[in-house]
Chain A
Amino acid sequence: MNALSTLGLAASSIIERPLRSLLTSLGIVIGVAAVYAMLALGEGAKKQVEESLNSIGTRTMQVWPDWNRGRSSQTRPSMPFTEEDIREMRAINGVFAATGTLTGRGYTIATDISDVNGNFLGVDPDQLKASGGEMKLGENISFADIETRRPVVVISEGIQQRLFDGQNPIGQTVKVNNVAFTIKGVASKPDSNISFGNDDLFAWAPITVARERVIGGNRFVQNHVSNIMVVGDIGQNLNSIEEEVNTILRRSRDLKVGAPPDYRIFSSRGWQEQAAEETKALSFLLAAMGAISLLVGGVGVMNIMLVSVTERTREIGLRMALGAKKSNIMNQFLTEALLLCILSGIVGLTLGFFMSKLAMDTMDVELVFSPSVALISFGSALMIGVVFGFLPARRAASLNPIEALRHE
């Protein structure tokens, strides 16, 4: 008896009892559908979290002076950061960008015919990378601009719209505090995770020019910057970078061991990671629910197969008398259970795909068709077939033909 005729035997046995086969398969269909839908949902959520973890905002830490110092408390005010700090941070392993910004808010940026209130910032070339913006026209601020103190400026699309009516402004002049800047480029506004609200009016000038000619210096340190942004490479552990940033800052401001820092580091990484953990837990929970329904389906299969073996005891006895070996009988019943589970698995997979599509549409999660998820849920159906088909098949194979033939 070859594999093909065993398969034919199993198939005809399933077809000969259509209602029973249908009811038996229902448990597996639902189980596989649930496992698939749950896993796919979990994958979708995981992907979403991963994307947000890889987004520039999540990879960014911002370093600000501790504003609480020097006011009500008896502590000395925060020391400003310097360009030297930034240079050191840029050299940390795994840092994608490190930039210092000199902020000057509420400046009037004017042409000859109109003006607008916006954020005027002193920056270095890394600012664009770190803020997730991109050049739309012209060129970014360069290190040469900073060195040679060239009065150039990159404006945001918002300013381009307001002052130049969306026309190409490269080479034109704008005035900030009566200092004339030549427009060098137009950039998109920063990632909203980093920018100050939804404001889209920005003008970025070389940090040296901004400090010396518009915003003004600091009486404590030279080359001061208002705040620092450090962005890690994708997949980089931000904690180790934060440690090195701390080391650099503590050294540059000569903090004693154990002394509290006079600056604060902000990062959204923490709660993003927590979200990832929660998603993982959720996916696990969902998959466990699917697995339980699959298990229940499997018990259903075993139950029906046991009934089937009892009901067909005489048939088994007859087949044995006519020359069927134990292995033939075993294969017959195992194949039957397996075939039932395969068919149910196919139906369940299709059902699960549409279920997860529906769920993701309503939950606004991107549908991910993951072959591994399909493979896992289909594989579990196969496993159920083997595991829960085994006991009934073994029982069938171990029947004594004489007693089986006499079975009423």
Chain B
Amino acid sequence: MAGEAKPVTAPSKSALISCRNLTKIYKMGQSEVRALDGVDLDILEGEFVAIIGSSGSGKSTLMNMLGALDQPTTGQVTINGENVGTMKSKSLAEFRNATIGFVFQQFQLLPKKSALKNVALPLQYRKPKVKDAAQQAAHALSLVGLADRSGHRPTELSGGQQQRVAIARALAGNPKVLLADEPTGALDSKTSTDIMKLMQDLNANGITIIVITHEDEVAAYAQRVIEFKDGRIISDKRNEEAAA
């Protein structure tokens, strides 16, 4: 019960993401699993953060909280000044659309749609309606170096290119945070390097990036590495090499 014993401080106003006493409990039949156990965490705007840990450490649960896909059992998640924990499903959807850009391990591209249409997908749900969605999507594709592939379907692209399309899709809506869940998990090492370098470039241009990974090589590209174990943060280090 360490979470309850800890003094709870107010969420940081300067941080883009601020977690206070973040706890998530899953009920599995009779027993309870504390996937997150009183996590306090601040992530500043413009940071490139890697969250590492073995499976079951709680990093995926954290990613769901930070992505506004799930809500905590207790505690607070404040993203971009808004308390995600108390939002209704409808506002959560709008919030995700406006604030978060997701990158998934399995790319999650729609196989029958062109790269451009895939990238434009989040803009479909944007309110008010985006008038120049196609141009915005094309611009996002050019940011990941795939301007000449906009008409290709995902099956006609390599794995690395597919993940670039997915990153472009995450960027298309101009989110505050890029949230990447094992972005190189389905890629070979060379392509992984390209993807991580692309992320570094994007971060250098100002966007906040959070990468969830269990690979130290991937984490090495981040400026800050936070390690999870059993639902708690066990280390939070500056990565001197990457930061330099």
Contact = CB atoms under 8 A, between A and B. Distances in A.
Contact of A319 (B89, B90, B121): B121
Given A323-B96, A323-B97, A402 B70 contact: yes
Interface string B155-194: 0000000000000010001000000000000000000000
Contacts of A314: 108
A326 B122 CA distance: 15
Interface in A370-408: 401-402, 405
A402 B108 contact: no
Contacts of A324: 93, 124-125
B34 interface: no
A2 interface: yes
Contacts of A327: 90
A320 B90 CA distance: 10
A112 interface: no
A359 B97 CA distance: 57
A326 B97 CA distance: 13
B108 A325 contact: no
B89 A322 contact: no
Interface in B77-118: 89-90, 93-94, 96-98, 102, 104, 108, 110, 112
Contacts of A318: 104, 108, 110, 121
Nearest to B68: A321
Contacts of A326: 89-90, 93
B64 A325 contact: no
Contacts of B110: 315, 318
Given A402-B69, A402-B70, A322 B102 contact: yes
Contacts of A328: 93, 125
Interface string A76-89: 00000000000000
Majority SS at the chain A contact face: helix
Nearest to B64: A402
A73 interface: no
Q: Classify chain A's interface size.
A: 20 to 34
B96 A322 contact: yes
B67 interface: yes
A330 to B, nearest CB: 12
Given A402-B64, A402-B69, A405-B104, A322 B129 contact: no
B126 interface: yes
A325 B125 contact: yes
Nearest to B117: A12
A405 B64 CA distance: 11
Nearest to A408: B106
Nearest to A315: B110
B122 A401 contact: no
A257 interface: no
Contacts of B96: 321-323
Interface string A299-331: 000000000000000110111111111111000
A364 interface: no
Contact of B122 (A317, A322, A402, A405): A322
A323 B69 contact: no
A155 B93 CA distance: 91
Contacts of A165: none
Interface of A: 1-2, 5, 9, 16, 314-315, 317-328, 401-402, 405
Those 6 A-B pairs whose CB atoms lie nearest each other, nearest first: A323-B97, A323-B125, A322-B122, A325-B93, A318-B108, A16-B112
Given A321-B69, A323-B94, A325-B90, 8 more contacts: A2-B129, A318-B104, A318-B108, A320-B93, A323-B125, A324-B93, A325-B94, A401-B69
21 contacts: A1-B124, A5-B124, A16-B112, A315-B110, A317-B108, A318-B104, A318-B108, A321-B102, A322-B121, A322-B125, A322-B169, A323-B93, A323-B96, A323-B98, A323-B173, A324-B124, A325-B90, A326-B90, A327-B90, A401-B69, A405-B108
